Each structure stands twice: as structure tokens, then as C-alpha cells.
Structure 1
Amino acid sequence: MQRLEVLDGLRGYFLVFMVLNHLTFSGGYLLVKLNHGELGYVQDAPGFVFLSGLLMGQVYGARMKKHGYKAGASKIYHRVFELYRYTAGCLLAIIALGFLLTESSVYWEPWLWQLARNDWGFALAAAALLYQPTYMDILPQYIVYLALSPPLVWLCVTGRWRKVVIGSWMLWLGVQFGIHLPLASAIDAVMGALYPGLVLRAHFNVLAWQIVFVGGLVLGCLASTGQLNWQRVFDPTRRGLVEASLCIVLFFMIWRLGMTWELFPEAMQARLRTLEIRAEFSMMFLLNFAALSYLVAWLIIGGVRSDSPLARQAGEGLRALFTLPFLRLIGRHSLQVYAWHVLVIYLLKAVDYHQGPFNELTKTAIAASAVASLAIPALLKEHRAAAAAVIAEP
């Protein structure tokens, strides 16, 4: 299947802003404020997870339809083991750096907790994906989704995608009502009994965030098997959903800016904070994400064919942005680039601790260099692939 360049570019875009959002300096830095996340409740992680599900549905849905369930499932499980190797390798690299860098237990402690003290019990829990250091948590989450996805892909391929959607929605809804809390408490109790102080540590609730991945997976499967036509879904003459999505996006933008600039009374801010549960992907995050995703997709696919000059210009601008060679390069190798970005963020935390504080210009230069460095693992991957292709030639 030919890859869609805009999807690679989108993944690259999210990787760039993950670097900017995860990078920390003493006193903060201004560049991070130039961010779509400041204009609403849509950030990079859900977009990255959604696109991963979408591409997986497209690739493995087509494979299962053509070659059967086992052919597709075996490829998925191979991908699971590959992801685990990168996750474990990233963890081992951070632990090794902790021995080499002076005072790493001080500046990494908020991200690693007891792992910063090189505690073997917590290291084993991290290897089992139960104790996830900060910024390494998307990979374990993705591993879980991939491992459970073969039957879901098969259901979509065989026309039973509605069952997958309903199951995903019910699971997400259950989390919003706390159905997961007894299970989490039981896991904490077992882990604490096995090793003192050990608890389940994961920033993202996999039972809630699965709705993003599964949503992408279902759409990808339907598109790859001919059950969904993107041109019809994003018909430029049908603007009802576009206008509704725009209203929702603007609504959440007003609330987000109001909270940032403290324009609302404290009672309203307190109410909003109770709804803003990112770890469980609460309703405000889901609605904002769905609306913005539809709006962007419509502009890229339907807007460029619209009779509205503004829609055409917006769609063409987004296409130009998401097809930038740099973004497509790092998006094609998102797994390797994501693991690289974790190491870069941890290393730059050490630099800031030992060499900082820096002025704003230096912080901007460091951030730009960190973003540029994302090309390193992608180029190395493509170089190895090219070398292997030459060797394979007769």
C-alpha cells in the first residue's frame, strides 16, 4: 500500500511539538507557547495515537483482507516485539546514563521516581510496563493496543466494525464513571506486596485512551477495505458537520484562553478543572479532539475542492505544511524518532541543570537544535534500509 505523505507529515508535526512540550528549562521558555495546545484541549499525544491506529488499520486491514487473519496477526505481533525492544532499550539507555551523569538522581527524580535511585525492583516493574517513566509512556500504551488489536482488525475487515466501536465507547464511558478504580487499587496492592513501595505508574489510562486508537483503527480498516470513501465523507458541498466542528473548536478555544489569562471567576475555573482530566481523556478532550480532527481533515481533503476561497487557501496551506520533507522524514520513522526524542529530553535536562539557567535566545537555539536532531535516527534508518537493498540486489 502506498503511504499517504500527509499522514507521515502529520506524525512528524506531532513529534516536533512533543519535543517542544517535553523540553524543560529553568524558568520555562517562550517558544513552547507557540503551540496549538495553547488554543484548546487538543495536544500532540492523542493525534499521534490516533494516526498510529489509522495507519495500522490501513496496513493490516488490507493485509488481513487479502491474506487472512493469521498473516495480518503475525505481522502485528512482530511489530509488538519490535516496539518492546525499543521501549526496553530506551529504558536501559536512561538507566546507564544515570550512572554516568553526576547528580542525575536529583534532576531526573520527578520523571523517574525510584528509578532515579537505580532500584532494581522498580526497574523490573518498568520492564514489565507497569512502572512507566515520564515521556516513555506512549510506547507501552501502544504495545498494549497493538497486542490486543488483531481480533479488532478482523472484526472490521469482516464488516463487524460497529461492535468494535460500541465496545470502545462503552469502555471509555466506564472509565469516566470510575469502573477502573477497583482494578487499579487491586494492582497497586499486589505490586506493593511483591515489593515495598511499588505502585502502578502510567500517565495515560489505557482503558480510556483506547478510544482514540480504536477510532483510528476502525477508520483505517474501513478505508483499506473499500467500506469508506474519504472523498465522500469530506464532500466540500456538505458543510453541516464542518460548521458544527468549527463552533466546538471555537468554544473550547474561548475556555482555554480564558483559563490561561484567568478571565473567568474562580468558581468557573474550579468547575472547569474538575472536567479537565487528561489522563482519562475526559469528555472535553474527546469532543475537542473529534471536532478539530474532522475540521482539519475536511480542509485537507474537501476544503481544497471547495468553492470557498478561504477554505481552499486553508486546505492548501495545511497540505503544504504536512508535506514538508522534514516532517515526512521523521514521520516515516516515528518509532525510532520517538525513542530518540526521549533520550534528547533527558540529556537536555542534565545540560540545563549543570550549565543553566540560559537566556531566552539560548533556550530557543537549544530547542531548535533538539527538533533538528530528530532527523538523525530517521536518516540512519533510511541509510540502513538503502544499504540492505543494495546488498539484496543480485
Structure 2
Amino acid sequence: MRRIETLDGLRGYFLVFMFINHVTFTGGLFMRYLNHAQLGFVEDAQGFVFLSGLLAGMVYTRRMNRGGFSAGARALWRRAAELYGYTIGCIIVVLVLREILPGAPRIWQGWLGEIGHGGFGAHVAAAALLYQATFLDILPQYIVYMLAAPMLIWLVVRGRAAAVVTGSLVLWLAVQTGLHLPLIDAINVGLKHLSSKLFLRVPFNVLAWQALFMIAMVIGSLMALDRLDIRRYFDVRHAPIVKMMAISLLFFTALRLGFTFGLIPGDVTARFRMLENRAAFSPIFMINFVIAAYVFTWVMTAGKEVADARVRRLSQFFTWLFNLSFLRLLGRHSLQIYAWHVVLIYLVFWVDKQVGPFTQFEKTLITLFGIALLALPAVYRERRAAKTRLPGGETTRSSTAG
């Protein structure tokens, strides 16, 4: 199927800002405050997971619809195995660097925890993705989602999309109400049998964050099956609704800035924090993401046709930004680059502790250099694919298998 280049650009944008958010310097990095997440509760990781689910639904539903369940399932499970290889490869590379670089064991101790020196039990837990190194974040999630995706996509193909969405929301609600806690306790008990120092160490609750991926996957699947005309939901006539949604986002922006600058009373802050759980993708994040996703998509699609010149200019700016060739390059190889970004983050942290501290100007230059280095896997993969092209513009089977 034809690639939607704007979606590639969006994923590339999210990769760049995830790198900026993850890179760690003594004294902090000013560039981190340029992110839209500083103005609300919508983060790059959310958009990245959602877009990946959308594209998975679009791509693998077509395969399944043409070749049956087995055709799509084999491709999805191969993808899960590939992602598992990237995850384990990241851990191995970091552990090798830990043995080579002076001071790395001390510098990375907090990020690796028991991995590398916790014995056989820690290695088993890490291999099972139950005890994760810091900043692996999204990769282990995707493995679980890809393993579950074939049956769910097949249900959509068979006309059971509503059941898939309902099940996804029920799982999300189960996490919000704490029904998953006995499962976590059971996993922790099992890990204690491997080592007394082990516990479930994951940045995101996979049962909560799956709502982003799975609902997006259903949308992508329905689009691939021509059962959903997405344009009807983003019409110019919906401008009044979009205005109300934008105002609600401004409300949350005011809240966020109030918390940042200490303007919100302590009892209000305490009440709000009960609803703000990033790891569990709590209601505050879900509500903000749904609203922001709709407003953004409407501006990108219908915004260019509205009478308000400000909205038209904003639509044109978004179109230009998310079609930048560098961002599209990153987005075409997003998961490989995410794995590579983990290694870069560890290296930058080591450099900061061994050579730094740096000035804000120096930290900005290092960060920009790191962003440029993000493209290395993409450049390598595209050059390798170009070498396998046959005369006439066709490609070999190996070059298109990904």
C-alpha cells in the first residue's frame, strides 16, 4: 500500500522529542521545555504508540484480508520476534559498553538496576521483559501488542470491531480501578523466587497503554477494509465543536502551568494527582489525548478550508513540518531508530558524567548532534534496500519484507 508520508513525519517528530525528553544532563536541558508536553498532558510517547497501532491496522489487515488469518499472523509474529531481537540487542550493547567504558557501571547503575550484576535470575527476568532497563519503554509494549494483534485484527475483519474496542476499554478501566493489582502481586512473588531484589520493573502498564494501540489499530483496520470514511468526522462544519475542544485544552494548559509555577493550592494539587498517573495512562491523559488528537487531525484536514486565516496558516505550518524529509526518514524506520536512541541516551549520560558538566549551549549542541545521529539506522537500511532494487524500479523480496 502507498505510504502516508505525513504519518511518517509525525512519527519522526515524536522520535526527535522523545530523544530530547530522555537525554539526561547534569543541571537539566533547556530544550526539554520547548516540548508541547510542557503545556498540557499529551506526550510524544502517546502519539507514537497511537500512530504505530493505526499503521499496524492498515498494513496487516490488508494482508489478512487478502491471504487469510495465517498471512497476517505470520507477518505480525515475525515483527514481534524482530522487536524482541532489538530489545535484547539494546540490553546486550549497553552491557558490553558497561564493561568497556570507565565508570559506566557506577553511572548506569540506577538505569540498569540488577541487570548485568544480579545473576541468572535478573537475566531471566530481563529476557522475559519483566525487569526492564530504563528507556526501553515502548519496545517491550509493542512485542505484547504484536503477539495479540492477529486475533484482534481477524475479529475486525469478521465484523467484530465493536467487541475489540469494548474489550480494550474494559482492560483500561480495570487498571484505573486497580483490578490488575493482584496480577502484579503474583508477578512480584514469582520474581522473588528468582532473586530477592527483583520486582516488576516496567515504565508503562501494558494493560492500560494498549488502549491507545488497539483502538488505533481498529481504526486503521476499518480504513483498510473501506468500512470507515474518516473524512466525514473531520468536516469544516464541525468548527464550533473544535473550538469547544480547543478551549478545554487551554483549561488543562492553565492547570499544567499552574502546577509548574506553584500557583495551585496544595489540596487541589493532591486531588488532581490522584487522576494523573502516567504509567497507568490515567483519565487525565486519556481525555487530553482524545481531544488533542481530534483537534490536530481536524486542523490538518479541514483547517485549510476554514474562513479563519489563523487556522489555515496553522494547517499549512503542520503540513510543512510533518513533511520534512528528515522527519519522514526517521518515521519510515521508527522502531529501529527507537532501539538505537536507547543506546545514544546511555552514551550521552556517560559523557555528561565523565566529561561534564556542560553549559546549556554545549548541551544543546550535543543534543542536536544526537538527533542527527538518530538517522544512522535509517540511512543504512535505505541504502541496503537500494542495493537490492531490481531493474525497472522493482525490489527483491528481502528488501520489502519489513
User: TM-score, length-normalised on structure 2?
Assistant: 0.95
Secondary structure at 2:256 match in 1: helix
Query: Could you tell me how far 1:118 is from its partner in structure 2?
Result: 5.9
Secondary structure at 1:280 match in 2: coil
| Residues 1:349 and 2:360 aligned together | no
| Residues 1:75 and 2:68 aligned together | no
Distance 1:363 1:106 in 2: 22
Query: Equivalent residue for 2:180?
Result: 180
Label 1:241 to 1:126 Cα distance change in 2 as closer, same or farther (>3 A): farther
Equivalent residues of 2:84, 2:143 under 8 A apart? yes
Equivalent residues of 1:132, 1:202 under 8 A apart? yes
What's the CA shift string for 1:337-383, capped at 9, x where partnerless?
A: 10110000000111000000001110010011111111111100101
Query: Equivalent residue for 1:98?
Result: 98
Distance 1:320 1:62 in 2: 29
| Residues 1:297 and 2:303 aligned together | no
Equivalent residues of 1:108, 1:116 under 8 A apart? no
Equivalent residues of 2:83, 2:139 under 8 A apart? yes
| Residues 1:318 and 2:318 aligned together | yes
Query: Could you tell me how far 1:326 is from its partner in structure 2?
Result: 0.3
Query: Equivalent residue for 1:113?
Result: 113
Distance 2:385 2:166 in 1: 40
Equivalent residues of 1:76, 1:147 under 8 A apart? yes
Secondary structure at 1:239 match in 2: helix
Distance 1:336 1:373 in 2: 13
Alignment of 1:1-394 (within 5 A): 1-115=1-115, 117=117, 119-390=119-390
Distance 1:80 1:241 in 2: 39
Distance 1:224 1:38 in 2: 35
Distance 2:190 2:377 in 1: 39
Distance 1:214 1:341 in 2: 25
Query: Could you tell me how far 1:69 is from its partner in structure 2?
Result: 1.3
Aligned residue identity for 1:163: A
Greater mean deviation of Cα atoms: 242-251 or 295-304: 242-251
Greater mean deviation of Cα atoms: 360-369 or 196-205: 196-205
Query: Equivalent pairs: percent with the same residue?
Result: 47
Distance 2:19 2:326 in 1: 15
- Equivalent residue pairs, number: 393
Aligned residue identity for 1:22: H
Distance 2:63 2:223 in 1: 13
Query: Could you tell me how far 1:120 is from its partner in structure 2?
Result: 3.5
Greater mean deviation of Cα atoms: 23-32 or 236-245: 236-245
Aligned residue identity for 2:114: Q
Aligned residue identity for 1:298: W
Query: Could you tell me how far 1:276 is from its partner in structure 2?
Result: 1.2
Secondary structure at 1:252 match in 2: helix
Secondary structure at 1:389 match in 2: coil
What's the CA shift string for 1:36-56, capped at 9, x where partnerless?
A: 110001111111110110000
Aligned residue identity for 2:115: L
Query: Could you tell me how far 1:133 is from its partner in structure 2?
Result: 0.8
Query: Could you tell me how far 1:247 is from its partner in structure 2?
Result: 2.3
Distance 2:125 2:246 in 1: 44
Query: Equivalent residue for 2:399?
Result: none
Equivalent residues of 1:204, 1:280 under 8 A apart? yes
Query: Could you tell me how far 1:132 is from its partner in structure 2?
Result: 0.9
Secondary structure at 1:269 match in 2: helix
User: TM-score, length-normalised on structure 1?
Assistant: 0.97
Equivalent residues of 2:122, 2:131 under 8 A apart? yes
